[in-house]
Structure formats: C-alpha cells, structure tokens
Amino acid sequence: MSKTKLFLEENLYVDGLKYFGHKNRQLSKEIADIWHDDNQNLNGRWNEIEKYDDHKGKILDMACGVGTFLFYGLHKGYDVYGMEPENWKLQYMHNKIDECNYPKEWKKRIIEGVGEKLPFENETFDYIGTYQTLEHVQNLEACINELVRVLKVGGKMK
C-alpha cells in the first residue's frame, strides 16, 4: 500500500477520534480508499461544472481537503487551484504528487490559507467551489467578502 494512503488513513482516524470520538479504523480505511482515488468524481461535483462549461475558466476549490476534487480536475487538464488551512492535508497532497509522479508544478496549485484572507488578486477566478466549507470558517462575513473579491465579474460561486 502507498505511504500517502497510509498517511491519509491514520490522519482520518486521528481526526475522527479527536472530533467525533469514533474508534473505527475500518471507517477511516474506507474513507481513505474513496478520497485517495483521483479517478472519482466524488459527489458528482464536476458534472454540474462541466454541464455549464464552468470548467473552462480558472477554478478555486476553497478548503480543498485532501485534494480529491483538485486532482480530478488537474488530471482532466483544468485550470484548478486548491486552498487548504489544515497542515496534514497540505502535506498529504504534496507527498501524493511526489509518490505518484504527478507534475511538480501541481504543488504550486495547492495554496495554504484561510477564506478570511485569500492570497489572490481581485477578480482571479471564474468559478469558486465552497463545498462543505463555510460552516467551518471563523468569520463568515469576512470569508464571503474575500470570495466575492477574488471572483471575476460574471463568475460563479457554489
């Protein structure tokens, strides 16, 4: 088994124990199996983006987690970036790029940060995804203001 997948399983277990009190290693393994698979269009999020041609612009996955959405899009050649505040998730994505021999340039598409202070110029993105994100930010108003600031006029946010 790959080292990055084992790293993912262990961190999912630790987070599950810390945040939810569960001690189910099998559940952590099952989630890791899904999240580690870059060929999955997890939750079908890309279907809608492709249906409305939103994949043709510059895309931000806000709080990209372990990069499942990000890597799927990069494999398809889309101009997608991921922003993530959690250190172990950033480490996982960088290690996965190395282990899987993905293009090293992909590491530049993984940005450390929080939604309340985005390190991007005004009107940078055509599409911003915030899947399971906003409920975790410290200051919702500041985060939304930042997302609107970096969204191009006529862009979409979901």
Supply the pLDDT for residue 1: 73
User: Which residue type sits at 61?
Assistant: D
Q: Kindly report each contact of residues 32-40 with a partner whose C-beta sits within 8 Å and lies 24 or more positions away, as own/partner.
A: 32/5, 32/8, 34/68, 35/8, 35/65, 35/66, 35/68, 36/2, 36/4, 36/5, 36/8, 36/66, 36/96, 37/68, 38/68, 38/71, 38/72, 38/75, 38/100, 39/72, 39/75, 40/68, 40/72
Supply the pLDDT for residue 132: 87
d(CA 134, CA 153): 21
Q: What pLDDT tens digit does each residue of the chain (158 aa) get?
A: 799 999 999 999 999 999 999 899 999 999 999 999 998 887 889 999 999 999 999 999 999 999 999 999 999 999 999 999 999 999 999 999 999 999 999 999 999 999 999 999 999 999 999 998 998 899 999 999 999 999 999 999 99
Cβ-based neighbours of 28, under 8 Å, separated by 6 or more: 9, 10, 12, 13, 16
> The whole model's pTM is what?
0.94
User: Which residue type sits at 157?
Assistant: M
